[in-house]
Each structure stands twice: as structure tokens, then as C-alpha cells.
Chains A and B, each alone.
Chain A
């Protein structure tokens, strides 16, 4: 019999047992109650307690078995495991039934289980972070055993060529160089272009919406910016590659400059557009949170509206604005599809945005999708790059959180 069918049978039996527990528990509780004894809980609560007592331990046992099988690699045959779980379920049912007595706090018992379940759910998010860390660090360590960490961080040549040959079975991969500086240079260049577009446009839009715009304009502008945020990045990537990049090449040709079709400008600009809503919406919230008394005070001193905004509102909102920009920046650093589709593949250490450049995320995708074996140095380098990316974005996020917290404490705003 196949595992899936076994599993199906297991689930249905467990379901039936649960139903049986529910009705048996309820009828027993009702009976006890009908006999005139007062009970701590409602019959339904006893019924649910019986269900929990039946299914809970059984599911735990089978999950534990599966986990042991995976982690320890020891072969526990599926059939005995599931059978054992069912036996546990029956035992649980029996114990549950015995426990249904007038002096038993069924409601509290259920509630304890519920709280533990909820807390268990809350740990999933921690497990996710841990999972990311473990998976990335583990493979990155493998990589750093092949190539030195120092060369990786400071090397200026990214030439995995030979490691590729090693993966294909020829050569020993000794000539490969994994200096990540050109990749990070490309990443930061494209990010910088994106921020040059996103910060002014986003911030000024936020100022307009927060300080000037009539309610009608706001009602249109907010959803419009939300649409910008909702466009999938693969769509932005297509737009950058098919429309913006050729346009930039034409313009560059027109003014007598030489531009690559995979220039850094196109993905940078489009990425900037993508980030506008992130910056504008958070800045808008922050500007709105600046207390009106400050504006009133400034206006009362005879400042014009523009001066009030420039000298009072913006400085007050600055931590929030910086925090928004940092969040936008961390998004730009980790953005993948736009650069995969529109930026180049050549690691290129240059300051000219019209040349082609590659980024960390492009390399990660290239390494994970190409004709490569999983243990080749180039594939593993994706994890090393991912690790650095993780660390950089993590620190940006933390700084951003601290800034916004400072702002919140200063003005006692709760909704940020």
C-alpha cells in the first residue's frame, strides 16, 4: 500500500475517533449533569476536551515520528508508526472519558492547550528566520571552505569560469575567483539610481498629500500610489528591459554617448519608481503624525507655509523619513526580478551607469538556475552572497526600526 493511501486512512480513522470522542464526551457530560450534579463546564466543553485528548497526543506522536525519521535518518516504517499513533488516540480517548467528571475544569484544560497552540504558531516566524539563517550559513560555510572569506569580501574579480568547468567534470576549479566587490558595486549603483528617483519623488509626493492636497486629490492619489506598489516586479522587469532600456540607448545615442542595452540606468530608474510608494506612504504617515501644534506655532510666528514645512515639519519628521528611505533601500538591494530581466550579467567595476553591471541577486538567480551541480563553488557562492545580502538588509531594517521608534517615543504616536 502506498504511503499516501496509508496516510489517508490514518486521517479518516482519526477523524472518526474524534467525532466519536465528541459525542461520547458530550453525552457523558449531559448524563452527569442530568443526574443533578453541577459541573465546572458546559457539556460541549467536555466534548471538545475529549476530542483534544484523543487527537492531540496521536498527532504529536506521528509528527514526532516523522521528524525523527527525517532528522535522524532512521527508518521508522510508516505503517507501525501510524498504527501506534492510532493506539495512542484510543488511549487518549479512554483517559479523556475518565476525566469527564463534575469536578474537572474542562474549560481551563482546553484553554491551556489553546494557549500553547497559539504560542507554538508564534514560534513559526522565529523558526522561519532561523531556517533562513541556518540554510544560508550552512551552505555559505561550505563555500568558504573552498574560497577564503577575505578574498570573497575584498576581491575585485568575479570570475567563476573555472569552477564551472569543474562542475562539468573538467579542470579542478582552482583558477576561479570569487571577489564580490564588483557585484556589490553594481548592486549599490543600481540602488543609488533607484534612491535618486524614489526619495525626491516619494518625499515630495508625501509632502503634497500631507500638507497641500485637498481631500479629493488625496482620495485619488493614495490608491494610485498603492497600484504602483501592487505591480509585480516581474512586470516592472519586462517594462525596464523592453521599453525603458532601448529608450535610454536611443537617448544616449542622440547625445553621442555609448550605452549598453543592459545598462544600469534602466533597472535603476524602474526600481526607483517601484519604491516610490514605500517611501511616500510611510513619509505621509510620519508627516501626518507631526503634531499640529508645531505647525500652528510656526505659522503664528509669521513663517510662510513653505518655511513651516521646510524648517519645522520635515526636521521633526526626519527620523521617520530616514527610516522610510532605509526600508526602501533595503528593498532595492534585495530586488531580484527587475535586475534579472534588465541588468547585465557581467561583473563590472565602473562608475558609468550607461555600462552594463550585474548585481548580487542576478548572480544568485544565475547560479541557482544554470547548468550547474549543487555542490559546485558557483552554486554555493549564491548562498554566500545571500548571507551578505541578509546581513546588510537586516542591519538597514534594524536601524530603520530604531529611528522610527525614536520618532514614536518623541511624539507619542501609536499607529506607526
Chain B
């Protein structure tokens, strides 16, 4: 008898635990892994400086984020998605089909890809074409495409040093790799008519290119110890380690926050997040989060995100983003085309 009562009490307790945590103050965010460090920084700040819970951010990739975001409205779909590129027309149309019709696009800044080596070496300025020829799986030679024969930099261009080509870069699953292929490989391949005008982005697999893996500490270690190697990574990572690494200029432009923000530096990309306005009633807090993200404190001239590697937008662009959040400006198809 006693035992039965006890069991009942326990069962009731378990059920009440399962029943708590209903009202949603927590924002659900998905999207690009490139934006992730910045978004999670803002999220932490948001959680620490307000009485709301910290938003949950999941790094799903830009494409994956868009897919989840456009799955529909309501419970189980994210409120905000981050992207390291603009929304594509096809994605916008899919959103519309699934009833996600009121979206606000917010621009938050840029990121550049650095091409760097140990600072024990002399600086080595390169061009996009030279990087391409060092990295591509097949390169043009005498009008034909052949397997990449280059093992040393001076074989590509005699002005470059006689140094073995070793480039440590992000693996295919990383967003930085996507950007690298888009901004370096495809752009450069268009310069060579042997590819027939097609965008070529295959990376050699014979050892000249080394996939760096997830552990960034090891990439730095590797670059400091293996002084022949070059590394490819996000600009933020270069800033973090500028005491041991030096960046190469690309097409004569040094990667600096300024050169990336004003698009002089050839390998830079823009970052956005998208708000699902139809969740405004359900999760009103998300506008507070968005406001904090575009505030001067975060992405202003001396914003905090600058410290962790964001290339902040110009003052005008910051104001535009703030305006967009305040107005909940609705994204239209024409904006994307």
C-alpha cells in the first residue's frame, strides 16, 4: 500500500518535470558556420545582459539553414537563419511556397580569406592565378588540361621563390572552403580559356593541398613548424595569430579590415541574417536580439565583433541594417535578383 502511494508520487513528479518549460522566450537560430562565431558571441552577450535566456544557435551551413528556415512557420522552425551569402531566388521561392512570406534581410559585415605563412619567411606576394595554379587538380599547359605538375612555387612563376608547394586549408565540409573555391578557384579559372569558360574548382589531392581539419590549434602549430607551408583560413583567424603568421598580399592588396570592407581585397564575402517576421508574436524577443546584433556596440566602428574578426560594415551600412531591423523591412524577390 505504502509502496503504491510512493510510486504514484514519483510518477506525478516525473510528469510535472516533463510539463515545465513551455513559454518560448528562447530564440532558435540556425545557419552558416562562418557567421556562427559572431552570432554566438552576440547570443552570449544577449543572454548575459538581459533577463532572457541565451538564444540557441545551431551551425547547419548556409544552405541547410535556409532549408530549415523555409520549411514553414510555427513550432519547430527556426526564427532566424544566418548566411555567408545572400538568399538565393530558389530559396526565396521555396520560402514563399511554404508560407514564409515576411522575411527581413539584415547585412552584418564581411569576412576575408587570408593566405598566410609563418612569419619566419619573407613575405611572398601572390596573385589569384598563382594560387589557383598551385591548388588546382588540373592546370592548363600548352592548350591542354594536365594533372597539376607544379611542385615548387618558382615553376609557376620564376619571380616566386624556389619553395615546395604545401598549402594547408579547410576541408570540403567547411564554409571557408566553399568561399575559397568560389572566390579564388572559380574566379581565377575564368581567366584560362582551356576550361572553356566553365568554373573549375577541383583541388589537387596529390599532397600539395592538405585538408587542415577541425582543430585550428594544429594548423597554427603546423604553419609555425613547417615553415614551407601556407595556410588558407578566415581572416579572423589570421588576426588571432598575427604574432606568428604573416599574410601574403593577393593581387597586390594586403588583407586589412579596410580593404576587405570596401571590396578591394579580392577574396572577401558578405554575411547576413534573415528574420522570420511571422514569428513576431510568438517570440518578440528576437527583435531585441537583432537590435543588439546591429548595434554600434557590436558592428559599429569599434564594435566588439571586430575584436573577434568581423570586418564591420561602413557607418552608412550599419545604419541601414539598424533601419531594416527597426522597420522589419520585408524582403522582396526584386531585392535578390
Contacts and interface: CB of A to CB of B under 8 A. Distances in A.
Query: So, do A and B actually touch in the complex, CB under 8 Å?
Result: yes
Interface of A: 2, 4-5, 8, 11-12, 15, 19, 22, 157-162, 164-165, 167-171, 175, 241-242, 245-246, 249, 260-262, 340-341, 344-348, 356, 358, 366-367, 369-374, 378
B63 A373 contact: yes
B64 A371 contact: yes
Q: Which 7 A-B pairs have CB atoms at the shortest separation, nearest pair first?
A: A370-B173, A371-B61, A345-B211, A345-B171, A371-B175, A345-B213, A346-B211
A5 B171 CA distance: 46
Contacts of B22: 2, 4-5
A19 B211 contact: no
B322 interface: no
Interface string B326-337: 000000000000
Nearest to B14: A11
Contacts of B59: 371
Nearest to B202: A161
Given A373-B64, A378-B173, 4 more contacts: A171-B199, A246-B221, A261-B222, A346-B205
19 contacts: A4-B22, A5-B22, A8-B19, A15-B11, A15-B12, A19-B4, A169-B63, A170-B182, A241-B218, A249-B225, A262-B218, A344-B210, A358-B211, A367-B173, A370-B174, A371-B174, A372-B63, A374-B64, A378-B172
B205 A347 contact: yes
Q: Interface extent on B, as a size class?
A: 35 or more
Given A170-B182, A347-B205, A11 B63 contact: no
Contacts of B209: 346
B203 to A, nearest CB: 6
Contacts of A157: 205
B215 interface: yes
B112 to A, nearest CB: 18
A228 to B, nearest CB: 24
Contacts of B226: 261
B32 A371 contact: yes
Contact of B205 (A11, A159, A175, A367): A159
Contacts of A164: 172-173, 177-178
Interface hub of A162, A164, A175, A348 (most chain B Cβ within 10 A): A164
Given A367-B173, A371-B175, A4 B33 contact: no
Nearest to B11: A15
Interface in B33-48: 33
Contacts of A242: 217
A157 B204 CA distance: 11
Contacts of A175: 202
Given A4-B22, A15-B8, A161-B202, A169 B15 contact: no
Interface of B: 4, 8, 11-12, 15-16, 18-19, 22, 32-33, 59-64, 67, 88, 90-91, 137, 171-175, 177-178, 181-182, 199, 201-203, 205, 207, 209-215, 217-218, 221-222, 225-226
Nearest to A51: B4
B201 A165 contact: yes
B181 A165 contact: yes
B181 A371 contact: no
Nearest to A2: B22
A160 B205 CA distance: 11
Interface hub of B15, B173, B207 (most chain A Cβ within 10 A): B173
Contacts of B211: 344-346, 358
Contact of A241 (B63, B205, B207, B215): B215
A5 B63 CA distance: 35
A371 B178 contact: yes
Contacts of A161: 172, 181, 201-203
A11 B13 CA distance: 12
B19 A261 contact: no
Contacts of B201: 161-162, 165, 171
Contacts of A346: 205, 209-211
A260 B166 CA distance: 12
A160 B178 CA distance: 12
Contacts of A341: 215
Contacts of B62: 168, 371
A169 B64 contact: no
Contact of A366 (B171, B178, B210, B222): B171
Contact of B178 (A15, A165, A344, A348): A165
Given A261-B221, A344-B213, A373 B203 contact: no
A4 B172 CA distance: 41
B157 to A, nearest CB: 25
B124 to A, nearest CB: 21
A371 B34 CA distance: 9
Contacts of A369: 173
A346 B219 CA distance: 14
Contacts of A358: 211
A261 B218 contact: yes
Nearest to B179: A168
A346 B137 CA distance: 14
B63 A167 contact: yes
Contacts of A241: 215, 218
Contacts of A160: 172
Nearest to A44: B1
Nearest to A237: B215
A160 B201 CA distance: 11
A347 B206 CA distance: 10
B19 A371 contact: no
Nearest to A355: B207
Nearest to B4: A22
A290 to B, nearest CB: 46
Contacts of A372: 61, 63-64, 173
A373 B66 CA distance: 10
Given A22-B4, A373-B67, A11 B90 contact: no
A199 to B, nearest CB: 29
B24 to A, nearest CB: 11
Interface hub of B22, B172, B209 (most chain A Cβ within 10 A): B172
Nearest to A341: B215
A261 B205 CA distance: 18
Given A4-B19, A340-B214, A373-B63, A366 B173 contact: yes
A262 B182 CA distance: 27
A246 to B, nearest CB: 7
Nearest to B170: A345
Contacts of A19: 4, 8
Contacts of B63: 167-169, 371-373
